[in-house]
Structure 1
Amino acid sequence: MPYIDVPDARLRYDVTGEGPLLVFVHGAGANATVFFQQVAHFARNYRVLCMDMRGFGGSLCKAETFHQRWFPDDLARILDAEADGPAGVVCQSMGAWAGLPLAVREPERFRALVLSGSPTPAYGPHHASLTNVSNTFKRAGAGEKVAPTQLGFTEHFVANRPDLIALYQMLARQNQKVDTSHITDPELRLMPEHFADYRVPTLVMGGLQNKLLGAETHKIAAGFIPGAQVYTFPDSGHSSYFEEPAHYNRVVEEFFRQHGHGEDKGQ
């Protein structure tokens, strides 16, 4: 596994396949391995890179210096090492605090950007949901038993896929105990003026059954990102990529191909 040393952290990531670079950035509940269902699909046509954010999986950091303010720079350093041109980037939940600020700051790094299951750093009234999210993941990170439905999984998925719930919980236990509640800090907010020249094609997705964030949060968030498209998964919750991967992968692939990242099936 490749590693990159950055200030106060060592970042681990995994690369599979050949083709245009497609990067997956996980949320606060797991780590890079959680995208195994995306890797199996996209590695047939893309060079798929899944990174462990600092404090998660194999990316170790000083717990006392953990903060989401470093996420964009961490992603940039990995792109420095692995990208030979604009990349497609997919960010789940907290991962949006890596992708969106970097897309605002350095749009030339991106062919297109997908944000899923996330209020995103684009500030608005929907950020009220962050307090609940932050508290929930802080409890889970501290070792408290938190029901999968409280983490945004649907009751149907919990009942029918106990194997995948067990896998998700095992992945979560691989992470350091870091304080993710910094995500509500005002310094991380992207305000309208930050998007004055925003030009990265962006898709904001969310599950209609998302009880962690709310069913409409992704739609509201998209309204604060100029030109953003919206897609809703009617049958899944916070983690559509995990609950209904075939559906999720198809939507993501079609979006990137529409924006010239990968082969167009229509040609």
Structure 2
Amino acid sequence: MSFAAPPRRAGWIERPDARIRYEVTGSGPAIVFAHGLGGCLFSWWQQVAHFATRYTCVAFSHRGFFPSTAPAGGPDPAEYAGDVAALVDELKLGDIRMVCQSMGGWSGVEYALLRPGRVKALVLAATTGTLDPRQMREPERGRLAAWSKESAEIRSDLLTRNILPATGARMAEEQPALFHIYTQINGLTQGFDREAVRARLHATRNRPPEAFAAAQTPTLFVASEEDVVATPFAPQAMAPAIPGARVASLPKAGHSGHFERAATFNTLVEDFFAEVGA
């Protein structure tokens, strides 16, 4: 047999107040993957396996998320874009593509604004990052209060049934093994209050959608149809205000659609890259 697996290496980025763990798999143009609050660099196993034959796949753990470290006060999302910049510079990646889910959207949006034109394609899955849904267009903005109330009730019910809101009930029922893997990955990170990080994230989600034009990056929002964590109709309301923005939907998927519907998600990302020449 002549098959050879893509090359892989791992290492650490030393920041003034944190150590950032990364893994690099494959070769070709670089994709940087930024995970959500329930994840770490392992969250992207289904994407890395798919893309590593044609791309250099860089998965990292945000500061404080296993096995990366953070200051005693816990992770501060204001540092995420700087961490990505340090990673890109250390690995000499140059221009990159970014695939971000949930919390990872804060890294993607802010890095793209930090270095305009340097992100050749940006995927925001189940996230708008620091772009504020409260500033999206009508009529979607008028739906936000009712959705927030209903989704909070659903999340509370899920937790009483030992189901993480980030997975949703469908994954737990229909794909129990996948649900178990997600739960295991979520449990690897310990040592700080995730709700405090969530509050910091929400406090910095204040940019109007129009402000993202400055990033000069083609953007694909991937909204999960059954998301009860991130507002699934916000991308459709924001995209018209952002040059080069598109929206795709993952049907029958909860907040972690990249995990739950990986094959469909990967195809959406691949087609987007091809469309924008990334």
TM bin (shorter chain): 0.7 to 0.9
In the TM superposition, 1:1-267 aligns within 5 A as 1-125=10-134, 147-148=162-163, 150-153=165-168, 155-176=169-190, 177-178=192-193, 179-180=196-197, 181-185=199-203, 187-191=204-208, 194-195=211-212, 197-261=214-278
Per-residue displacement from partner, 1:167-222 (whole Å, max 9, x unpaired)?
A: 1111111113243121122x552235733534111111111111223431332343
Give the drift of 1:76.
0.7
Amino acid in the other structure paired with 2:250: F
Give the drift of 1:133.
9.1
Q: What TM-score comes out, normalization by structure 1 length?
A: 0.85
Q: Cα 1:163–1:193, aligned 2, differ >3 Å: closer, same or farther? A: closer
Check whether the contact 2:20–2:63 (CA below 8 A) recurs between aligned residues. Answer: yes
Check whether the contact 2:102–2:230 (CA below 8 A) recurs between aligned residues. Answer: no
* Stretches of structure 1 lacking an aligned partner (at least 5 in a row): 138-143, 262-267
Per mean C-alpha deviation after superposition, the further-off stretch among 252-261 and 211-220 is 211-220
Whole-angstrom CA distance in 1 between matches of 2:36 and 2:161? 16
Whole-angstrom CA distance in 2 between matches of 1:34 and 1:71? 17
Q: Cα 1:224–1:145, aligned 2, differ >3 Å: closer, same or farther? A: farther
Check whether the contact 2:117–2:216 (CA below 8 A) recurs between aligned residues. Answer: no
Whole-angstrom CA distance in 1 between matches of 2:271 and 2:35? 21
Per mean C-alpha deviation after superposition, the further-off stretch among 42-51 and 190-199 is 190-199
Amino acid in the other structure paired with 1:215: P
Amino acid in the other structure paired with 1:53: H
Amino acid in the other structure paired with 1:157: M
Whole-angstrom CA distance in 1 between matches of 2:13 and 2:148? 30
Check whether the contact 1:130–1:184 (CA below 8 A) recurs between aligned residues. Answer: no
Whole-angstrom CA distance in 1 between matches of 2:108 and 2:47? 18
Whole-angstrom CA distance in 2 between matches of 1:31 and 1:89? 15
2:117 is paired with a residue whose SS is helix
Whole-angstrom CA distance in 2 between matches of 1:224 and 1:245? 28
Per-residue displacement from partner, 1:7-36 (whole Å, max 9, x unpaired)?
A: 211000111011111111000011110111
Check whether the contact 1:31–1:171 (CA below 8 A) recurs between aligned residues. Answer: yes
Give the drift of 1:156.
2.9
Whole-angstrom CA distance in 2 between matches of 1:130 and 1:104? 28
Identity of aligned residues (%): 32
* Stretches of structure 2 lacking an aligned partner (at least 5 in a row): 1-9, 135-140
Give the drift of 1:152.
4.4
Aligned positions, number: 254
